[in-house]
Amino acid sequence: MKKTPFATKEKLEEIAAKYPTPFHIYNEKGIRENAQKVKDAFSWNKGFREYFAVKATPNPFLMDILHEYGCGADCSSITELMLSDAVGLKGHEIMFSSNDTPDVEFKKAAELGAIINLDDITHIDACLRALGGSLPETMCCRYNPGGVYTLSNGIMDNPGDAKYGMTHDQILEAYKRLKDLGVRHFGLHAFLVSNTVTNDYYPTLSKTLFDLAVEIKEKVGISLDFINLSGGVGIDYKPEDTPNDITIIGEKVHEVYDEVLVPAGLGDVALYTEMGRFMTGPYGALVTRVLHEKKTYKDYIGVDACAANLMRPAMYGAYHHITVMGKEDEACDHTYDVTGSLCENNDKFAIDRKLPKIEIGDLLFIHDTGAHGFSMGYNYNGRLWSSEILLHPDGTFDMIRRAEEPKDYFATFDCFPIWKKLEKEWQ
Ligand SMILES: *Cc1c(COP(=O)(O)O)cnc(C)c1O
């Protein structure tokens, strides 16, 4: 599908006049409409809840909006737990799906009454130790079927190489132990393939997990309370991708549910999801201004954002569509590398990209940065984190996170004399 920016050039210039580029901007209208669609798609399941994967976009304003649609939070670290607590999420509205977990984090999760999802069978003991000898009434286990996981349309991934989850035998053993330890409510969780652009992922995963739920009932004698399909529902980063249709996904999962769980007497199982990318990815963009054009062996467009603001292209060679604002209808008859300023040659938002002729001062709209965009930022080369802006449905906008300043960058030096000297610099 043709990719169109969710804001006009005039609007972005108006915002940039107040909050200088680069910034990440989020489309509140898009986030709300999509959250409602997700809710509707699974409304056939009584206990359904989406736990927004906080790591995708850990911003309290966005978490608040999603909470209006019943979304909780999926956390994997203590700071994410603190954030979820701060935005007012309570108890089972928080899912703690961590791995390689420090004791203090199990403790914090339990204190908040979050659902703890164990990544490994040895974590039963780790959790017991951390919590002083007793476990919460509700516990969840993470499954890894191993091998290669293939969807009907050919997409596959290698759970066998993934560090997450328990094997089939371990997970049965884990439920037995948990039951013996007095746990009364149980969940099952798995995340097997990332960024799937197909309506088949959740239905296929459902079949795997629902079959396992039936086996758990037969072999361990427990009826699961919930099954968490986790994340992995992808978005159409490329114009040629066909976007996932969450309504169809919900219907297909419903069919598998009726086929496998209902006949096994498990028709009360609540379904959870833990989507990050699908909830906010398409509704965010990185807006950056062109600073330089450099012509050597290639034609480079240098912008005021860099990989520290959006790591995906540098890290995975990920495609992010770029629109040159105001030139939407011009021919893409120039070939550019669009680069940031890091002293790293992989700091390129696009390589050999066909774009309209670019002028210095043009605004570029880098699409689909609403998840795993801002949040994967870092400070290499002393680059500072950008601001985040929320564009409201009525066209007004607010800053929902300020840009980092030198004082933030140097804050962790506050115990050293040099800090006093630096402090003078930024005042
Ligand atoms: C990253 C992650 C998610 C979200 O993944 P998306 O691909 O953004 O949907 C959900 N659950 C867990 C445990 C994760 O690590």
Q: What is the pLDDT of residues 135-191, one digit of tens each?
A: 999 999 999 999 999 998 888 899 999 999 999 999 999 999 999 999 999 999 999
pLDDT at res. 166: 98
Q: What percent of the chain has pLDDT over 70?
A: 100
Strands 226-228 and 270-273: what pairing? Answer: parallel
Specify the ligand 1 atom closest to the Cα of 189. 13
Residue 189 beta carbon below 6 angstroms from any ligand 1 atom: no
Ligand 1 centroid distance, CA of 139 (Å): 19
Mean pLDDT confidence for 187-203: 96
pLDDT at res. 360: 98
Residue 276 beta carbon below 6 angstroms from any ligand 1 atom: yes
Q: What percent of the chain has pLDDT over 90?
A: 94
pLDDT at res. 415: 81
Is CATH 3.20.20.10 the right assignment for the domain spanning 28-280? yes
pTM over 0.95, yes/no? yes
Of all protein residues, the one whose alpha carbon is nearest to atom 7 of ligand 1 is: 232
Ligand 1 centroid distance, CA of 373 (Å): 14
Ligand 1 centroid distance, CA of 231 (Å): 4
pLDDT at res. 216: 98
From residue 119, how far is each of 103, 106, 205 by CA, in Å? Answer: 14, 12, 18
Residue 201 beta carbon below 6 angstroms from any ligand 1 atom: no
Fold held by 282-413 = Lyase, Ornithine Decarboxylase; Chain A, domain 1 (2.40.37)
Specify the ligand 1 atom closest to the Cα of 142. 13
User: Left, alpha or beta for 372 (phi > 0: left; psi -120 to 50: alpha)?
Assistant: left
- Answer whether 43's CB lies under 8 Å from 64's CB: no
Residue 233 DSSP class? B
- Answer whether 186's CB lies under 8 Å from 140's CB: yes
Residue 280 beta carbon below 6 angstroms from any ligand 1 atom: no
**Residue 255: pLDDT band by 50, 70, 90 thresholds?**
very high
Mean pLDDT confidence for 196-222: 97
Ligand 1 centroid distance, CA of 306 (Å): 24
Alpha-carbon distance of 323 to 366, in angstroms, equals 7
Residue 5 beta carbon below 6 angstroms from any ligand 1 atom: no
Residue 231 beta carbon below 6 angstroms from any ligand 1 atom: yes
Domain residue spans in the chain? 28-280, 282-413
Beta bridge partners of 139: 116, 186
Pick the closest to residue 72 from 276, 235, 209 (CA basis): 276
Residue 51 beta carbon below 6 angstroms from any ligand 1 atom: no
List pLDDT tens digits, range 384-403: 999 999 999 999 999 999 99
Q: Is the pLDDT score of 419 beyond 90?
A: no
Pick the closest to residue 23 from 332, 302, 389, 279 (CA basis): 389
User: Left, alpha or beta for 196 (phi > 0: left; psi -120 to 50: alpha)?
Assistant: beta
pLDDT at res. 413: 85
Q: Which of 75, 127, 141, 343 is catalytic?
A: 343
Q: How many CB atoms lie within 10 A of CB 344?
A: 15
Q: What are the residues whose beta carbons fall under 8 Å from the beta carbon of 256, sequence distance 6 or more?
A: 203, 206, 207, 210
Share the mean pLDDT of the chain.
96
pLDDT at res. 423: 82
pLDDT at res. 422: 81
List pLDDT tens digits, range 273-326: 999 999 999 999 999 999 999 999 999 999 999 999 999 999 999 999 999 999
List pLDDT tens digits, range 325-379: 999 999 999 999 999 999 999 999 999 999 999 999 999 999 999 999 999 999 9
Mean pLDDT confidence for 227-241: 97
Alpha-carbon distance of 216 to 225, in angstroms, equals 12
Ligand 1 centroid distance, CA of 142 (Å): 13
Q: What is the token pair recorded at 191?
A: 């995340």
Q: Is the pLDDT score of 426 beyond 80?
A: no
Q: Is the pLDDT score of 12 beyond 90?
A: yes
Residue 306 annotated in active site: no
pLDDT at res. 69: 98
